[in-house]
Amino acid sequence: MAVTGIIMILYLIAHMVGNLHAFQGPKVYDDYALWLRTFGEPAFPKRTLLTAIEIVLTVSVLAHMWAAFSLWYQAKKARPQGYVTKKALAQSYASRTMRWGGVIILAFIIYHLLDMTAGSVNLAKDPSTPFTRLVASFTNPWVTAFYVIALVLLGMHLRHGLWSATQTLGQSNKRRERTVNAAATGFAVLLIAGFLVVPLAIAIGAVR
């Protein structure tokens, strides 16, 4: 789970940086999207880079889900009867909602692909360019609200996931726990802020 999570985090960083090209205008944003599809030509076929990224991400997501289910099943099998007193106060809100948050994030990913990549559910009259699809989605308050909620949940998932990954990989202990927790929170906030700034800028008309 830790390894697949790290792979997806690296992708999210790259994706967030790519999204920020929207502030440079439609031509730069569309050129960036075209570069992703034509990278390596003519030595490699069109979409070689994107296809490789999609394969790695798909395998990572499936492996992450399998790891989550396996850990849940092992914990349930190890303790078939629940605790007499649940230590809810000892758990963070993010850790208690990791599973449901993961399901909502998966639904968000599917919608995001249909909206921004395929354009099949996009609200633009002519969703032929990436920038047109981007603006059409985030000028709709309902779509923007859905994206904001999903990204906040993703941030919570990331924060807890990063903290858990340091435990799994043996990079945390009681002495460093507070520092690791602060670093995980700071990283999650910065990454999600980087994602949120584009839809919010479009929603208020700062990007057109």
The secondary structure of residue 82, as a DSSP letter, is P
Tell me the pLDDT band of 166, cut-offs 50, 70 and 90.
Answer: confident
Q: Are 155 and 192 in contact (CB under 8 A)?
A: yes
The pLDDT of 3-32, averaged and rounded, is: 95
Q: Are 111 and 121 in contact (CB under 8 A)?
A: yes
Say if residue 203's pLDDT is above 90: yes
Sign for the pseudo-dihedral over CA of 71, 188, 11, 140: positive
**Residue 81 parent element (H or E):** none
The Cα–Cα gap between 96 and 118 comes to 34
What is the reported pTM? 0.85
Tell me the pLDDT band of 81, cut-offs 50, 70 and 90.
Answer: low
| pLDDT of res. 87 | 47
Q: Are 130 and 29 in contact (CB under 8 A)?
A: yes
